[in-house]
């Protein structure tokens, strides 16, 4: 696929400006998991044999929140400090 190339530790994406980023859970996907988890936890009242849908919803919300926090930490740790040079395009 154009814009992607193999990397020893996984797939790295190249955005339209030529910057590389690791493929992983993004903020949008984290928010999606939180939303689906909240729907399953608070809005679904049906039951399924062998599966507690409300527990699945809580698990999805927790995983989404953890992904959100990890993504934010990685984003802000990659940004330079006060003396960092701006990116060269």
pLDDT band with cut points at 50, 70 and 90 for residue 1: very low
Exposure string of 30-67, with b = 16+ CB inside 10 Å and e = fewer, is beebbeebeebbeeeeeeeeeeeeeebbeebbeebeeb
- Give the pair of three-digit tokens for residue 69: 């926090």
pLDDT band with cut points at 50, 70 and 90 for residue 59: very high
pLDDT tens digits, residue range 74-84?
877 766 555 55
pLDDT tens digits, residue range 13-24?
666 666 666 556
The CA distance from 40 to 61, in Å, is: 10
> Model pTM greater than 0.85?
no
């Amino acid at each position: 696929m154009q814009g992607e190339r193999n990397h020893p530790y996984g797939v790295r994406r190249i955005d339209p400006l030529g910057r590389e980023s690791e493929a992983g859970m993004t903020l949008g996907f984290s928010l999606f998991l939180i939303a689906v988890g909240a729907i399953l936890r608070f809005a679904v009242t049906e039951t399924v044999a062998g599966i507690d849908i409300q527990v699945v919803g809580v698990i999805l919300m927790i995983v989404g929140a953890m992904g959100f926090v990890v993504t934010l930490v990685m984003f802000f740790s990659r940004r330079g400090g006060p003396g960092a040079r701006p990116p060269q395009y």
